[in-house]
């Protein structure tokens, strides 16, 4: 199972806490993330994360390519709907590619929990 993790700047701490709370499940997956998010996740957890480019440098598009190639089974993109900055990844392109390829996409912690529960339901 291969999962992607992205977070806007204001949501990076939330993603780290989410990863800590769900580390058992996440450790069973191959993880990839945009550059800074991946670095922070590896520093704060024992998770191994393949780092793509930073979001402003196209890391989100690299992840979109993985989804288009069928090499990603789910995306958790904790976005900041109120104060996202212009340099941060835009969820709309990723939403489109996930919809085209029927790949689950979670944009908040509640839906991310459901995504993990759905993907790992057979493990319970």
* Active site residue ranges: 60
37 is an annotated ligand-binding site residue: yes
45 is an annotated ligand-binding site residue: no
Which residues, 6 or more positions from 11, have their beta carbon under 8 angstroms from its beta carbon?
78, 79, 80
35 is an annotated ligand-binding site residue: yes
34 is an annotated ligand-binding site residue: yes
101 is an annotated ligand-binding site residue: no
CA separation for the pair 102, 35 (Å, rounded): 25
How do strand 2-7 and strand 74-78 relate by DSSP bridges? parallel
Phi then psi for 96, rounded to 5 degrees? -60, -50
87 is an annotated ligand-binding site residue: yes
Question: Which residues are paired to 51 by β-bridges?
Answer: 33
Q: Residues forming the annotated binding site?
A: 8, 12, 34-37, 54-55, 87
Binding residues for substrate: 8, 12, 34-37, 54-55, 87
């Amino acid at each position: 199972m291969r999962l992607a993790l992205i977070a806007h700047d204001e949501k990076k701490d939330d993603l780290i806490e989410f990863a800590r709370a769900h580390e058992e499940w996440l450790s069973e997956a191959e993880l990839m993330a945009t550059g800074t998010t991946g670095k922070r996740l590896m520093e704060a957890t024992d998770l191994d994360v393949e780092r793509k480019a930073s979001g402003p440098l196209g890391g989100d598009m690299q992840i979109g390519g993985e989804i288009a190639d069928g090499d990603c089974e789910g995306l958790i993109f904790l976005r900041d709907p109120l104060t996202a900055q212009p340099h941060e990844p835009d969820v709309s392109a990723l939403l489109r590619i996930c919809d085209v390829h029927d790949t689950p996409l979670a944009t908040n912690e509640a839906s991310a929990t459901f995504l993990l529960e759905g993907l790992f339901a057979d493990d319970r």
